[in-house]
Amino acid sequence: MARELETIDPQERFLEFFKKEKYRQRISQTAITGKESITVDFEELFAFDQRLAERLLEKPDEFLHHADNASYAQLGIEDSEYAEKIEKVTVRIVQLLGKEQLRKLGSKQMGKLVMIEGIVVRATPVRPMVMRAVFKCKRCGTPTPVDQTGAFLRAPFECSDPACRQKGPFEFVQDESTFIDSQDLRLQERPEDLPPGQLPRTLNVKLVGSEIVDLARPGDHVSIVGVVRAIAPSRPGIGKLRTFILHLDANSLEVLGKEPEAALPSPEEEKKILELAKDPWIHRKIMSSIAPSIYGYEHVKEAIMYLLFGGVPKSLPDITVRGEMNALFIGDPGTAKSQLLQYVARVAPRGLYTSGRGTTAAGLTAAVIREKGGSMSLEAGALVLADKGIACIDEMDKMRPEDRVAIHEAMEQHTVSVAKGGIVATLNARTAILAAANPALGRYEPHRTVAENISLPVTILSRFDLIFVLRDVPNKEADEKMTAHILEIHRKGASPVEAPIGSELMRKYVSYAKTIKPVLSRDALKRLGDFYLAMRAASESEGSPVAITARQLESLVRISEARARVALRKEVTAEDAEAAVTIMKRSLEEVGIDVSSYKMDIDLIMTGRPKSVRDRMQIIISVLMGMEKETGIVEKAALLNELESKHQIPRGEVERMIGQLLREGTIYEPREGCLKKT
Ligand SMILES: Nc1ncnc2c1ncn2[C@@H]1O[C@H](COP(=O)(O)OP(=O)(O)OP(=O)(O)O)[C@@H](O)[C@H]1O
Ligand SMILES: [Mg+2]
Ligand SMILES: [Zn+2]
């Protein structure tokens, strides 16, 4: 039987396949659409003739050639006029039965047809490639055509005129040569396919033909069917190396949906999820499931919860408003920032952990890169790769200067635009950002403004929905608890507190919740509006130029929506709004805004220009230090007098601030009624 099949001409077999109604239609369609290729679903070919399909995978060069010829023959029957015009039909195979893993690709797959999924990280512009080059002999002028293969332009061995036969010199005649569009891509493993803790691998892909180039942009998730090739890199003057480099000659390319492959919950898991959502304490449960080994930081974990679930993006005809949130943790060294970020990258449906510098030349946004051959290509950075996911950026203050500029657009508009070296492109970067940064001075200085404490410009800071400061302040009670907690981890080798929801279920819970689009109720709307207007009004009567901005109002909406999502609710309640206001207040307070008295002026505080509270604290400290120089120890009463008479700061306020400075440990009381700077 097998022998019998061998004797059948493969081209005949393909022709039979193309006589199926569906493919006859596809082939005759090409004449109407002006295309020069048809798509074949591998599964259908496999069902038609398993042996033929298998041999196509084994010997793709030979069998794709047969398939091309067969489809062209069928086109001749369907529409002979069009067939004459186009000379060739390319068969593009899609959806092989199984996909090959990028990191498993090796010598075994060389020369085979495989399907690989990945994310495009780099793309060159579309460039014409010579297929058939015509060279003119400089002696007799006879043109000699040479079909081109390989990477380098090849001249003829000798002049084709039998009377001449000179071995050069030749002149390349561009007008008479034939070109085809080509493009090089670099494919990278998707963040969600990556084994934990591994660096992603990449593979170069060559696209040839106007119908396959320019389909995918950096950041796109694609499925490519192609032939694995190996080329020996050559060293000038030495020769070719023995170890080859793999690349893929693409036969077909499909852009996949951008949503992270939602790990769909099983019916049992769905039941569990719905049950959990009914729990009145669901928010607490989720929060205590976030990095349970990290002690404390309740508000930080609450912020992480909102970030994981996210708000609802709004697309209006004229503008779009992001739904993803951005949060920043500024913290002293060793306050578990990196640990929290890595946890989020692990549980988020598409999480990516990177340092501010980025792990590739493209950094956080994108870059135009000059490749070895001198050609330019566009490479996607971390935020583009984490499109529709969460980018966890550690050490954000250390990002590249180019990213500092580009990240503004990425954080608000969710796109990255590049116009450099002849490449003009806009890439999507619809990511939530969780960033961590160290204070510029090593430790957080509570008397300086946020902007002074961190080397990030205000324009970037203001794009964070929530900012928290993680300080490492010695405190007997808290230290004892945390010490016990950490030592317990080391003793047991496990977290002393069990997560109520495991990370696997958590990921599914988040994916499930993200399909819900909660809508603000009237009550919620009123609560958010009232809070926002009160703050605006307060700053107006204070006479300060700009207070809290519209950005904070949008943040409040996002946080409330995220909170409703956690409970799988379609409606944002007043309670959600209240929680959003509470955490927003806390964040504003942490960056130095006095919410209780409504003396807030986000621009002034963040830029560090004089504003009553911060300013007065500085005055108190400098006056105290000045007096200390003279008298050693400063009497509190003397300090109060000095500040009242010379600086017009009311006693009550000074008392209050001294209290705060004492609590923070900036000053201390060596004895009753005396003060000293620490
Ligand atoms: N609250 C905490 N609970 C449990 N472990 C903690 C806590 N704070 C710090 N640690 C532990 O301290 C170590 C240092 O944490 P990590 O590396 O995340 O700090 P970091 O904030 O990133 O510091 P840096 O700013 O220097 O990068 C980790 O092993 C972490 O588990
Ligand atoms: Mg760290
Ligand atoms: Zn010649």
User: What proportions of the chain, in percent to the nearest 5, are helix, strand and coil?
Assistant: 40, 25, 35
**Residue 285, Cβ neighbours under 10 Å: how many?**
14
Provide the mean pLDDT of the chain: 84
CA of 302 to the centre of ligand 3 (A): 79
- Give 621's strand partners: none
- Taken as a whole, the chain contains a residue count of 678
pTM assigned to the model = 0.75
DSSP string computed for 276-340: HHH-TTHHHHHHHHSSTTS---HHHHHHHHHHHH----EE-SS-EE----EEEEEE-TTSSHHHH
**482 within ligand 1 shell (Cβ under 6 A):** yes
575-608: per-residue pLDDT in tens? 999 999 999 888 887 776 555 444 444 544 444 4
- Give 404's strand partners: none
- Over residues 58-65, the mean pLDDT reads 95
Query: For position 599, what pLDDT does the model report?
Result: 46
Query: For position 458, what pLDDT does the model report?
Result: 77
Strands (E), 82-169: 90-94, 113-123, 127-137, 143-147
Residue that wins the pLDDT comparison between 651 and 264:
651
Query: For position 612, what pLDDT does the model report?
Result: 58
CA of 338 to the centre of ligand 1 (A): 7
Query: Tokens in use for 666?
Result: 């900036």
CA of 120 to the centre of ligand 1 (A): 34
**353 within ligand 1 shell (Cβ under 6 A):** no
- Give 114's strand partners: 226
Query: For position 286, what pLDDT does the model report?
Result: 93
Query: For position 269, what pLDDT does the model report?
Result: 87
Helix H, strand E, coil C: the string for 635-652 is EHHHHHHHHHHHHCCCHH
Structure confidence at residue 329 as a pLDDT band (50, 70, 90)? very high
**337 within ligand 1 shell (Cβ under 6 A):** yes
Share of the chain above pLDDT 90, in %: 33
116-140: per-residue pLDDT in tens? 999 999 998 888 889 899 999 888 8
Query: For position 576, what pLDDT does the model report?
Result: 94
Mean pLDDT lowest for which of 29-38, 300-309, 361-370? 361-370
Q: Which atom of ligand 1 is nearest to the CA of 342?
A: 18
**331 within ligand 1 shell (Cβ under 6 A):** yes
**514 within ligand 1 shell (Cβ under 6 A):** no
454 pLDDT higher than 90: no
CA of 336 to the centre of ligand 1 (A): 3
CA of 553 to the centre of ligand 1 (A): 32
**489 within ligand 1 shell (Cβ under 6 A):** no
Contact 632, 575 (CB under 8 A): no
Query: For position 565, what pLDDT does the model report?
Result: 95
**292 within ligand 1 shell (Cβ under 6 A):** no
How far is residue 222's CA from residue 226's CA, in Å, rounded to a whole number?
A: 12
Contact 376, 124 (CB under 8 A): yes
Sign of CA pseudo-dihedral 150, 151, 157, 162: positive
